[in-house]
Amino acid sequence: MSQRNNGGYLGNPLIKADGFVHNFTQEEVSEYLKCSKDPIYFAKKYVKITTLDKGLSEFTPYDYQRDMFQHFNDNRFSIVLACRQSGKSISSIIYILWYVCFHPDKTVAVLANKGATARSLLARITLALEHLPWFLQPGCRELNKGSIGFSNNSKILAAATSASSIRGLSVNLLFLDEFAFVENANEFYTSTYPVITAGTETKVIITSTANGVGNLYYKIYEGAVQGLNDFKAFRVDWWDVPGRDEEWKRMTIANTSELQFEQEFGNNFIGTSNTLISSNAILGLQARSPSRKSTKGVCYYENPIKDETYIMTVDVSKGRGQDYSTFNVVKITENGYFQVATYRDNIISPLILPDIVVSVAKEYNDALILVESNDVGQVVCNAIYYEYEYENLFVESTVKSSGIGVTMTKKIKRIGCSNLKDLIEMNKLIVIDNDTISELSTFEVRGSSYQASQGNHDDLVMNLVLFSWFVSSEAFGNIATKDLKQMLFNHSIQEAEEDLAPIGIIQEDRARGFTVYDDLAQAQREFRNL
């Protein structure tokens, strides 16, 4: 039998081919109209899915899934925080199927952290399509692993989430699955946002379980909750899912861990256990929106205050779209240190950066500038010191030009990381920039040191590592209060005694300032003899 005779697409009798004419009954017309107006009715009555327990079966939405359909339908920008195995993905793809069936000339992009995952979602859409009655199917023009094209000129595309995934496309509905797990999410969103906002009716659906604090998903979700962006938040907790009670929770924790349960089922944004800064401390960091942002990209959180002391730390990249050139401006007070301005750009040339650095430093009462002088950082150091003749620049040595700035060594990084941990966890360094918090949440153990987890950045954090090293230097003695330096010292002793120091122990020495001990036992012995 030919395709035209059986009406199937390429021999598949379950999918209506493009051009096949279906003769509607009066009842079918009535049902079609009901489904076109109500995605919940459509899903409940006509959609079939495959489950582990029942195999192919009718989709019976829970109450929160019905609410989710309505949420998607009522809002242009939706972001969903849902516990693991709550059916958020299946709810989303059913809504997408309804959207393309009853809305002609629409393009839907289904994006996931991996291409295989996106194609799997498309396969689930295809399965649901196959089991729709023909009077609801729009007819199929194209069907492969990466796309479905329909007779009503609507189509669904599936791909990995990347900066180029939907470049050049006019997308009417963008679905981002498990967005908290997408690497380089910021780069993707920056390139995609113009596409999203090009139309007045474009819809965006973002779903995920929690995956630490500070990432872009966390930022968007928290912004939605606080009413700071255009997204509307929707939340599914573990107790919303039928069959989950306190006994289920107890058994799940027993088979995993409490921390894992809290993040995957409790919808709590918790940093990884391997981060330099503890999860509780990261959760306690409260991001703020900049009070203003300059045309050059500087984020100001607090305007300069007359007679206050400021320190600026600078990290330089090559400006080739990879690592970022960054700086932090920190206010020095008797009660602690406060982040007041930041800069982050991965395109700016090292030849242009000094102008921005110097101009901002002058704004903040001629702030002391510390530049990491490794690699291209030396170019920036020389420009600030010689070309701009900025005098308040930290100089390691005046004997040679390479002494301008700070050479980041393993020792300096160890001291800086140890101090940074103490300062933040004791609430003595107040960090409020979202990008910095994001980097802190992924700044984790790598070998014998710390660095950004795969796919993330740590350029702003390394600013703070440099600042925190400087806190322990003799040069800082004229700036810091004795109480604050003693507090850091005492805390280092306590950590050594408790065998908790992650990367070295810091001991104050009147003659040499601070010394790093790689041998914990030696440090403990000497501390006891103080």
496: helix, strand or coil? helix
Residue 474 bears catalytic tag: no
- Residue 14 near residue 130 (C-beta atoms within 8 A): yes
DSSP 8-class letter at 482:
H
* Beta strands at 107-112 and 155-160: parallel, antiparallel or unpaired: parallel
Burial of 56 (0-12, 13-18, 19+ CB in 10 A): exposed
At position 17, the amino acid (one-letter code) is A
> Which residues contact residue 364 at a Cβ distance below 8 angstroms, ignoring those fewer than 6 apart?
304, 310, 312, 329, 340, 341
Catalytic residue, candidates 31, 58, 142, 178: 178
Q: Which residues of 200-232 are buried (b: 16+ CB within 10 A; e: fewer)?
A: eebbbbbbbbbbbbbbbbbbbbbbbeeeebebb
Q: How many angstroms separate the CA atoms of 114 and 181, rounded?
A: 10
Burial 461-491 (b: 16+ CB within 10 A, else e): bbbbbbbbbbbbbeebeeebeeebbebbbeb
Contact 315, 300 (CB under 8 A): no
In angstroms, the CA 48 to CA 196 distance is 31
List Cα–Cα distances, 520 to 322, 371, 500, 504, 525, in angstroms: 37, 31, 10, 7, 9
Alpha-carbon torsion angle 507, 481, 406, 508, nearest 10 = -10
Residues carrying an active site annotation? 178
